[in-house]
Structures are given as structure tokens and as C-alpha cells.
Structure 1
Amino acid sequence: MSKILNVNHLGKTYDSGSKKLTVLDDISFSIAKGETFAIVGPSGSGKTTLLGLCAGLDRPDNGSVELCGRKLGTLSEDERAVLRNKEVGFIFQNFQLLPTLTALENVIVPLELQGFKNPSKTGMDLLDKVGLHDRVHHYPSQLSGGEQQRVALARAFSSKPSILFADEPTGNLDEETGKKVVDLLFDLNKEAGTTLVIVTHDMELAQLNQHILKLKGGKVLSNETTLVS
């Protein structure tokens, strides 16, 4: 199975006053197309920094990332943005919906940017799949946290990304709502055949994935394959 993400000897440091803080130290792993992959670890272990590097949102100090067959280190900022728009979807802990747009308008923004024909139909279909067919004209402020995250799910899958990065997708939700969002995420992902990378501190969520990469102190503690098929 071909690899959609290759991470080799990745390192990242930040200046912290007069000292240098090593956030990631010699991280290597790969993910095959269509796999589900969790990155876990306590707060401060480097999970979100690693996700940002994998998606080309930041550059490493050491090592390399190859995403969808492209070496990110050889690409300009504009070229990385084009690659993300075409191949990558995102889901965030704080939803990151545009407050002045309705649920439907939020979902179809990526489609309009890519020049999709009839984006409204696609958006309506996806909002129907996440159970929000009666909320399409509501603004984020009129939606609960769970509803906002379901809009974010629909938006993430709208442009049919090759790989989807989810950063603590249930972090701002109560347990029951979070479970519903997780079920929808995996259902949509299975239907679309997308590669899924989830950053989480929730081991129950992590164990729903085929692989679990555990980080501690910016280093790889383990890289395990689960029994999930």
C-alpha cells in the first residue's frame, strides 16, 4: 500500500527566553493511504506541533515531511497552500467556523475556492448526512458546540481530501456529544476512503484507529498497530 505521509527524523525547537526548547526530537513514521492513525500524548508532548508540520503549516528545523508525494521542504509557501487546498482537510478543537456565514456557507467555502460546480447541493447533502438538514441557514452562534463540530465535519469532507487532520476533535464537547461526533467522523471517513490522522489525549478515541503513535517529551514512546481493521 502506498504511503500518503512520510515523516523522517523530524525535529523542532523554539526559543524560550535565553534557552532553546526542543518540542520534537527525531520523529519518524509513515501512514499508508486510507489508514486511520492516532497521535497521542500528554499536554506539551508535541502533538499539535507535529500535526502542523505534517500538514505543512510550519517548517521543521530538522528532517523532512513528504505529503501526497510532495516533499514539503522543497515547496514555497504558496505551493504548500495549493497542496493543502487540494489534498488536505482539517478539523479543530474550537471548530473554526466563520461566524458571519451560515452552516451551509461554511461548508461550501472550500468548494467555491476550488471552483466546484453546484457546491450548494454537495453542502446540503453533507449537512443532511451529519443530521443538520434543518439547520443549514443557522449561523454558528445559533448552534450548539456539537452542531458546530458537525458543520466542521461536513466542511472537512466537502472537497474530498486525500488526508484529514483532526486536532482534538472532541476536546470542547461533553462525552455524549463527543461520541456522536466521533461516530460521524469515522462513518464519513469510511465512506470517503480518506486517510485520517487524529491528535488526541483520549486513549478510547485513539484505540478506534488502526495505528497509535505515542509521544512523550517530544519523542516517540511507541508506534503500535491495533486490532482495528
Structure 2
Amino acid sequence: MTKILNVRNLEKSYNSGSKKLTVLHDISFDIEEKETFSIVGPSGSGKTTLLGLCAGLDRPDSGSIELCGTELGHLSEDERAVLRNRKVGFVFQDFQLLPTLTALENVAVPLELQGAKNASEVGKELLTKVGLGGRFDHYPSQLSGGEQQRVAVARAFSNRPSILFADEPTGNLDAETGEKVIKLLFELNKEAGTTLVIVTHDLDLARMTQRILRLKGGKIIEAHEQH
């Protein structure tokens, strides 16, 4: 199998006042193409920091990250942004939709950035798939939390990413809505053949993925496969 993400000896710390706070310590793992993978741990265990590093949103102090066959350490900010636009999808806890754009415009944006001519058609198709076929022209403020997250899921798949990072995707949703969003995420993911990486503190959600990596205090305490 081809490795889509290869992380080696990652270290990350921040200066907090006069103290140095180590957030991640000697993290190594890899993820294969089309795998579903979750990173779990309590609040403050370094999961979101790790996700940001893996997606090239931030740089580690030391160690290496290879994403989709490209070593991130060798890339400039702009080059990393191009790689993300082409290869990476994101779903965030707080949806991160653009408030001045309609649902359809939010989904079409990543494609338009790539110069795609069919951005609107793809957007409509994805919104219909997530059950929002009648809501193309609604703005985020006119949608419920669950609907906004469904728009965000549709947007995440619009550029046909090789890998999708979901950071606490159900964190702001009630249990029932969260279940529906997760079901959609896994269905679209399977259909698209995308690699899915979920950061969560929800063990039930983590158990739906093929492998779980557990973090505590910035260190890996366990990595296991689900059977």
C-alpha cells in the first residue's frame, strides 16, 4: 500500500511566558491511502496541533512530514497552500463557512480557486448528496448547525482531495445531528476513495475508523488497528 502521510520524530513546542511548553514529543506514524484513521486524546493532548502540522498549516520544530509524496519541510508557505488546495480537504468543529457566501458558493470556492469551469455543477451535486438540494441559495446564518456542517462536508470533498482532515467534526452538534454528519462523512469518503483522518475525543467515533492513535501529554501512548 502507498503511504499518503508519513510522520517522523515530530517535535513542537511553544513559548508560554518564560516557560517552554512542549506540545508534541517524538511523534512518528504513517497512514496509508484510503485508510480511515483517528487521533484521540483528552483536551490539551496535542491532537489539533498535530493535525495542523500534518496538513502543513504550521511547521514543527524538528522531525519530518511527508504528505501525498511531498516533504513539507522543503516547501514555502505558498507551495504548501497550493498542495493543500489540490490534495487536502478540511472539516472543522466550527464549520468555518464564509458568512457572505451562499451554501453553493461556499462549496464551489475551492474549485474556483483551481480555475475549474464546472464548480457550480459539482457544488450542486455535492449539496444534493448531503441532503441540501433545496438550500443552494441559503446563507450560513439561515442554516442550522447540522446543515452548516453538511455544507462544510460537501466543501471538503469538492476539490476531490487525496486526504481529508476532520477536527472534532461533531464537537458543536447534538448527538443525533452529529451521527448523521458522521454517516455522511464516511459515505462520501468511501465513494471518493479519500483517506480520512479524524481528530476527536469521542471514542465511539474513533472506533468507526480502521486505526486509532492515542495521544496523552503530547506523546503517543497507544496505536492500534480495529478488527
Deviation track 1:113-132 (CA, whole Å, cap 9, x = no partner) reads: 01112211111000000000
- SS in structure 1 at match of 2:155: helix
Q: Deviations over 1:43-84 (max 9, x none)?
A: 000000000000000000011100000000011111111100
| Offset, 1:174 | 0.1
Stretches of 4+ moved more than 4 A in 1? Answer: none
Structure-2 residue corresponding to 1:196: 196
Deviation at 1:153, TM superposition (A): 0.4
The equivalent residue for 1:162 is 162
Structure 2 CA distance, aligned partners of 1:225 and 1:116? 38
Whole-angstrom distance in 2 between the partners of 1:73 and 1:111: 26
Write the mapping of 1:10-49 to structure 2, written as runs, cut at 5 A: 10-49=10-49
Q: Using structure 2 for the length normalisation, give the TM-score.
A: 0.99
Show the counterpart of 1:131.
Answer: 131
Cα distance per residue 1:4-27 (max 9 Å; x no partner): 000000000000111100000000
How far apart, CA to CA, are the structure 2 residues paired with 1:152 and 1:16?
33
- Whole-angstrom CA distance in 2 between matches of 1:64 and 1:118: 36
Amino acid at match of 1:182: I
1:53-64 residue pairs with structure 2 within 5 A?
Answer: 53-64=53-64
Where does structure 2 lack aligned partners over 5 or more consecutive residues? none
- Structure 1 residue 208 displacement after superposition: 0.2
Q: How many angstroms does 1:92 deviate by? A: 0.2
- TM-score between both structures, scaled by the size of structure 1: 0.99
In the alignment, which residue of structure 1 is the partner of 2:5?
5
Q: Following the alignment from structure 2 to structure 1, what is the Cα–Cα distance between the partners of residues 126 and 63?
A: 38
The offset of 1:211, in angstroms, is 0.4
1:79 alignment partner, SS class: helix
Report the Cα distance in structure 1 between the residues aligned to 2:163 and 2:99, rounded to whole angstroms. Answer: 26
Q: What is the Cα deviation at residue 42 of structure 1?
A: 0.0
Question: Counterparts in 2 of 1:40-189, with a 5 A limit?
Answer: 40-189=40-189
Q: Distance in 1 between matches of 2:164 and 2:6?
A: 15
Deviation at 1:37, TM superposition (A): 0.4
Could you tell me which residue of structure 2 aligns to residue 218 of structure 1?
A: 218
Q: Which consecutive unaligned segments of at least 5 residues does structure 1 have?
A: none
- Counterpart CA distance in 2 for 1:221 and 1:147 is 36
SS in 2 for 1:109: helix
How far apart are the structure 1 equivalents of 2:219 and 2:53? 15
Deviation at 1:29, TM superposition (A): 0.2
